[in-house]
Amino acid sequence: MKKFSILFIVLFASSYFAHAQTESMAARVAATAMATLWKEPVGADTAKPTKWTYDQGVVLLGIERLWIQTANPIYFSYMQKSMDYFVSENGDIKFYKAEDYNIDNILCGRILLTLYNVTGQVKYYKAASLLRGQLKGQPRTKEGGFWHKKVYPYQMWLDGLYMGQPFYTAYAKQFHEPESFDDIANQFIWMETHARDAKTGLLYHGWDESKEQKWANPVTGCSPHFWGRAMGWYEMALVDVLENFPATHPKRADLIAILKRLVDAIKKVQDPATGLWYDILNLPNEKANYLEASASAMFVCATAKAVRLGFLPASYLTVSKKGYDGILKRFIKTDDKGYTNLEGTVSVSGLGGKPYRDGSFAYYMSEKVIVNDPKGVGAFIQAANEMEWHATAKTGKGQLFILDDYYNAEEKKDIKGVAYAYHYKWPEMYNNGFSFLGNVITSNGLRTGTLSESPTRSNLKNAAIYMIVDADNVADNPTPNYMHEKDAQEIYNWVKAGGVLVLFHNDKPNADFTAINKLSDLFGIHFNEDSHNKVVGTDYVGGKIDVPAGHQILKNVQTIYQKEVCSITVKAPAKSVLTKGDLIVFATAKIGKGTVFATGDPWLYNEYTDGRKLPVIYQNAKAANDLVKWLTAQIPVKK
């Protein structure tokens, strides 16, 4: 990849980025990674690693989040091509040997799950299930902790928690393994029990149940030192697991408590001058010790993400800010080829093996420190994603954006034969889901929620915004929940008191009209039983809608895409705010203290916001951000 191509990726990312900023450091380092890592010669079209490697997974997790934040299709394409190099149409994985029982081999399963959820291609599910099968047979300690590898018997390493547990959690959540969550939580509990130093709160790199290894303390079984990156793996694992761990599980509180103890200990050994962390965390004054990039990036990433997801108070973000500033100043360098490089990452550190690694301070200092090690690069991209998210304005201030799951209550069976809610839902990454819209909403500081029952004053009282999308007819749902006058009146009263109502409807014959108009008519908005903006195949121009300069809602957008939409008729107090010829595309109404926004299409679902399908001229991803900002601005200010 030439210098021009790297610049193109960065500029393309910035043009898609949903939140205005002058430069994305995550995009710059990702461009370098995509151009150089695992490529011989540098710049080859496809990365070709010689083994199934967790290093690549760390980078791809950073690139995945970049795709979610930017809707830049370059990132998704890179992820998919990287995995397709290994995964056959039958779901086999090149170079992978389950019988090695190497927990490092599990990590890339997280990317496989994303690819399955986005594309629906069964080969990714099959490949991910191979990895789940490995965990079922993974050797364990007597109490149940996973061995790090078959060749490292009776040993648990901090590294292994990141390699295995986030995938295990995501798989268990999606494919109905509630019994697995105890096992997942116990891995962290046991690791802390055996490896935590009571005096410092830091965790030793590894623990040998048998106490037979030369590196193992004969009494505790622990290795001699607190290695920075090992603790970075452990903290990132905790946060990534908590992201998918059931909210009501009794051991969730244990995991959050472990996380807080861990970050409190990490904070104490943060270098006050640079904000960074040493390779051996508690020995800053040892002459050979050095500030290390990958551990610093991991602590920055995990702590910032824990704050974003609400696992830690906002005050902990200071730790990440100091660390991130230190990384940018000390480790990020741009060379004369235009590559943005990460310096200062130790290539590897382990315990035992051949040649034998004794875990001594001298051993850790003997390992090479290199430029653009994938583990450091991947951790940095993930850290930069988190810090760039925190750097944007959060005008939503934690208010609640609720999505209806009652009037639109379609279900289908998953690959396991279990029914689940689908079609315009927050978690869905497939084409018809709202995962990208949900990310835009949370990136603006709002919280997302779902209402699966008819609306009442009680269940709407905490909602600032309530959205109803594509109300069911009998073709969608054999037993649809139709809008009744009582429901409509409840919603009307909520809006009048200050609620913001969003109505994304659909065209005939894809939605109910008679019942939903009982609600919309109260605001002077009527959805007509027709269909406009027909699109045939990839002739997208039929769905093109031009947005006039200075538009009151879509302030940063010139063109959007809506296909097969119903028309809208308005009367006072409603008004048209966007048209295509005689077709009213957007309508709004002010009722009391509240606001209504309506359009005749669910237009912001993933297929038209994630960047993979529409030509770049169509700016639905940017439009989603503009709309959310406008909706947020309509929320009455509480006095």
Q: What is the pLDDT of residue 97?
A: 97
Predicted confidence band at 50 (pLDDT cuts at 50, 70, 90)?
Answer: confident
3-state secondary structure of 166: helix
Every domain of the chain with CATH number 1.50.10.10 lies at 3-391
Confidence check: pLDDT of 3 > 70: no
- pLDDT digit string, tens, across residues 259-314: 999 999 999 999 999 999 999 999 999 999 999 999 999 999 999 999 999 999 99
- pLDDT digit string, tens, across residues 421-439: 999 999 999 999 999 999 9
- Containing 434, the helix (H) or strand (E) segment is none
Amino acid identity of residue 105, one-letter, is: N
Amino acid identity of residue 550, one-letter, is: G
- pLDDT digit string, tens, across residues 381-437: 999 999 999 999 999 999 999 999 999 999 999 999 999 999 999 999 999 999 999
- pLDDT digit string, tens, across residues 230-270: 999 999 999 999 999 999 999 999 999 999 999 999 999 99
Burial group, residue 244, by CB count within 10 angstroms (0-12, 13-18, 19+) = middle
What is the per-residue DSSP string for 541-602?
GGGEEE--TT-SS-TT-SEEE--SB--EEE-TT-EEEEEETTEEEEEEEEETTEEEEEESS-
- pLDDT digit string, tens, across residues 479-504: 999 999 999 999 999 999 999 999 99
Q: What is the pLDDT of residue 21?
A: 43
Bond into 374 cis (ω within 30): no
Q: How many CB atoms lie within 10 A of CB 431?
A: 15
Q: What is the mean pLDDT of residues 105-124?
A: 98
3-state secondary structure of 252: helix
Confidence check: pLDDT of 13 > 60: no
Query: HSE (CB half, 13 Å, CA atoms) of 124?
Result: 22
Q: What is the pLDDT of residue 2?
A: 41
Q: State the alpha helices, DSSP H only, in 462-538.
A: 485-496, 516-520
Q: What is the pLDDT of residue 356?
A: 98
Q: Are 390 and 304 in contact (CB under 8 A)?
A: yes
Confidence check: pLDDT of 42 > 60: no
Confidence check: pLDDT of 638 > 50: yes
Q: What is the mean pLDDT of residues 624-631?
A: 98
Q: What is the CATH number of domain 3-391?
A: 1.50.10.10
3-state secondary structure of 6: helix
Q: Are 610 and 76 in contact (CB under 8 A)?
A: yes
Predicted confidence band at 18 (pLDDT cuts at 50, 70, 90)?
Answer: very low
Q: What is the pLDDT of residue 47?
A: 63
Q: State the alpha helices, DSSP H only, in 331-431.
A: 361-366, 374-391
Every domain of the chain with CATH number 3.40.50.880 lies at 400-634
Predicted confidence band at 5 (pLDDT cuts at 50, 70, 90)?
Answer: low
Q: What is the pLDDT of residue 17?
A: 42
Q: What is the pLDDT of residue 41?
A: 54
Q: What is the pLDDT of residue 22?
A: 54
Q: What is the pLDDT of residue 45?
A: 64
Q: What is the mean pLDDT of residues 327-348?
A: 97
> Active-site residue numbers?
159
3-state secondary structure of 89: coil
Contacts of 496 (CB under 8 A, 6+ apart): 591, 592, 593, 594
- pLDDT digit string, tens, across residues 164-196: 999 999 999 999 999 999 999 999 999 999 999
- pLDDT digit string, tens, across residues 580-619: 999 999 999 999 999 999 999 999 999 999 999 999 999 9
Residue spans of beta strands (DSSP E) within 258-394: 332-334, 340-342, 345-346, 369-370
Confidence check: pLDDT of 43 > 80: no
Confidence check: pLDDT of 337 > 90: yes
Tokens (6 digits) for 351: 């315990």
* Closest by CA position to 350, among listed 128, 76, 158, 618: 158
Dist. CA 328–CA 326, nearest whole Å: 5
Q: What is the mean pLDDT of residues 13-42?
A: 73
Q: What is the pLDDT of residue 1?
A: 37
Mean pLDDT (the chain, rounded): 95
Q: What is the pLDDT of residue 288?
A: 98
* Domain formed by 400-634, architecture: 3-Layer(aba) Sandwich (3.40)
Dist. CA 420–CA 456, nearest whole Å: 24
Say if pTM beats, i.e. exceeds, 0.85. Answer: yes
3-state secondary structure of 58: helix
Contacts of 553 (CB under 8 A, 6+ apart): 577, 578, 586, 597, 626, 627, 630
Confidence check: pLDDT of 16 > 60: no
Q: What is the mean pLDDT of residues 27-56?
A: 83
* Residue of 22 and 486 predicted with greater confidence: 486
* Closest by CA position to 312, among listed 258, 256, 262, 266: 256
